[in-house]
Amino acid sequence: MAAKLKKGDEVIVLAGKDKGKKGTIQSVDPKAGKAVVEGINVAIRATRQSQTSQGGRIPKPMPIQLSNLSLVDANGKPTRVGFKIEGDKKVRFAKTTGDVIDA
């Protein structure tokens, strides 16, 4: 299946403890169906001090299920993603506004 959400997309969380928050996708794991979003689903991880880095309690964004994320359209509202053929290219578009996402 084609990727509806990609790295760098602005998304909003639909469900979970961070419901309603917005962020940018840092990475996507299509096999597991999860994505890491900046500032969303943050866990505190304790790390040991090393010569290169300071130890302590470090916040780390954890993966969130793709079904709990929705793309943000031009109006700032959540939208579903569709696909259409423009010329000879397959492009993503926002279902609410009909705007093409990637040009």
What pLDDT is stored for residue 99 in this prediction?
87
- Two structure tokens written together for 81: 């993603």
| pTM for the full predicted model | 0.82
What pLDDT is stored for residue 101 in this prediction?
85
Q: Tens of pLDDT along 25-36?
A: 999 999 999 999
CA 82 to mean position of chain CA atoms: 16
CA 42-29-38 angle, 5° bins? 30
What pLDDT is stored for residue 103 in this prediction?
54
In contact, 19 and 41? CB cutoff 8 Å: no
Other beta carbons less than 10 A from residue 35's beta carbon: 26
Q: For residue 1, is pLDDT > 60?
A: no
- Two structure tokens written together for 39: 């500032």
Type and span of the H or E element at 71: strand 69-72
Q: For residue 102, is pLDDT > 90?
A: no
How far is the C-alpha of 58 from the C-alpha of 98, rounded, in Å? 41
Q: Tens of pLDDT along 37-77?
A: 999 999 999 999 999 988 899 999 999 999 999 999 888 89
